[in-house]
């Protein structure tokens, strides 16, 4: 289990992380989204022991990460800014990884090379941006880590490669009970992969939730009554509901409601509407309305790719 408690990191006068606290369970795929400067990369660098926290703690199974060689040997980190030895091929990098990681699998490395269709002997300097990220991902996965951290996971990857990476990461988590943290600018990239999502903004954790709970506890209601939909059937009519957003056009109201679907439906049906539709929301819509309820503008916090 990964646990951050009041985690804070400052660079000169810039506070990259400001008192973040969260718990990431074992065997979970945890997604972190946020704009540039939100703190995603700093969080991963603290988690992997590259940085030391100024305040607070970050631990894995109760153990501090910083300067913990044993713990680091079981984690693989693909940063947003990739680094390879000058002039090295992927095969040469694999030899380096095999010396550093006790669980490195040459068999898996060869298998992943074949799946991704990348040359192991060709200089990495000749690879495109997307191919370099594929190479870094192959090397990380070949380490068979207990903890896999991918920063800007899908940067430079085409749709086919994105789906391939998602499938392999999910397979690792299921088969080996690994724990993965994926970061991205794009909420859509993480929606169908992660068990939990966290939204970061200006170094703070704005929103964190299990994806299934987010999607099942928030939905859109379209409702209409006979006659003029005003006064008698205004927002106050639905005071028994937890409303995040309310708009009305003519005799039809659109309401974003949080709660149990069956309970909400029963309460509205008791008011005898002539039209009642309960509609699901996309994850982006869920985050938008949750952010609005917290007093944030979603567009200011996160810009999707």
Asked if pLDDT for residue 68 goes beyond 50, the answer is yes
Lowest mean pLDDT among 102-111, 178-187, 254-263, 279-288: 279-288
Q: Are residues 150 and 69 in the same domain?
A: yes
pLDDT tens digit sequence for 232-241: 567 788 889 9
pTM above 0.85, yes or no: no
pLDDT tens digit sequence for 183-239: 987 788 888 889 999 988 889 998 888 887 777 788 899 998 876 555 556 778 888
Flag whether 230 is in a domain.
yes
Flag whether 123 is in a domain.
yes
Q: Are residues 235 and 285 in the same domain?
A: yes
Q: Are residues 286 and 183 in the same domain?
A: no
For residue 16, with 0-12 CB atoms within 10 Å meaning exposed, 13-18 middle and 19 or more buried, which class applies? buried
CATH number at residue 227: 3.30.70
What angle do the packed helices 106-116 and 129-142 form, to 10 degrees? 150
pLDDT tens digit sequence for 241-272: 999 889 888 778 899 998 888 999 999 999 88
Asked if pLDDT for residue 98 goes beyond 90, the answer is yes
Q: Are residues 191 and 238 in the same domain?
A: no
Q: Are residues 25 and 99 in the same domain?
A: yes
Q: Are residues 176 and 237 in the same domain?
A: no
CATH number at residue 8: 3.40.50.300
Q: Are residues 277 and 157 in the same domain?
A: no
Last residue within a domain, chosen from 172, 202, 232: 202
Q: Structural domain of residue 295, as residue ranges?
A: 214-301
Asked if pLDDT for residue 66 goes beyond 50, the answer is yes
Q: Are residues 231 and 196 in the same domain?
A: no
Flag whether 207 is in a domain.
no
């Amino acid at each position: 289990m990964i646990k951050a408690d009041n985690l804070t990191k400052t660079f000169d006068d810039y506070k990259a992380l400001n008192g973040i606290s969260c718990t990431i369970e074992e065997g979970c795929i945890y997604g972190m989204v946020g704009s540039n400067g939100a703190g995603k990369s700093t969080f991963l660098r603290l988690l992997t022991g590259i940085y030391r926290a100024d305040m607070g703690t970050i631990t894995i199974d109760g153990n501090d990460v910083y300067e913990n060689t044993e713990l680091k040997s079981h984690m693989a980190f693909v940063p947003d800014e990739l680094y390879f030895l000058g002039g090295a091929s992927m095969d040469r990098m694999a030899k380096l990884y095999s010396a550093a990681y006790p669980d490195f699998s040459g068999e898996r490395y060869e298998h992943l090379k074949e799946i991704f269709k990348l040359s192991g002997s060709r200089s990495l300097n000749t690879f495109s941006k997307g191919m370099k990220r594929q190479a870094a991902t192959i090397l990380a996965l070949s380490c068979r880590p207990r903890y896999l951290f991918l920063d800007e996971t899908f940067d430079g990857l085409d749709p086919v490669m994105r789906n391939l990476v998602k499938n392999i990461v999910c397979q690792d988590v299921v088969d080996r009970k690994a724990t993965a943290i994926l970061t991205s600018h794009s909420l859509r990239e993480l929606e169908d992969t992660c068990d939990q999502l966290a939204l970061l903004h200006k170094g703070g954790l704005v929103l964190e939730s299990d994806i299934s709970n987010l999607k099942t506890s928030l939905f859109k209601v379209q409702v209409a009554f006979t006659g003029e939909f005003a006064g008698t059937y205004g927002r106050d009519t639905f005071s028994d509901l937890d409303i995040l957003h309310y708009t009305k056009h003519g005799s039809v109201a659109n309401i974003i409601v949080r709660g149990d679907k069956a309970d909400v439906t029963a309460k509205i049906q008791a008011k005898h509407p002539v039209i009642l539709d309960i509609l699901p929301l996309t994850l982006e819509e869920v985050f938008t309305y949750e952010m609005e309820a917290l007093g944030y503008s979603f567009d200011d916090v996160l810009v999707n790719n």
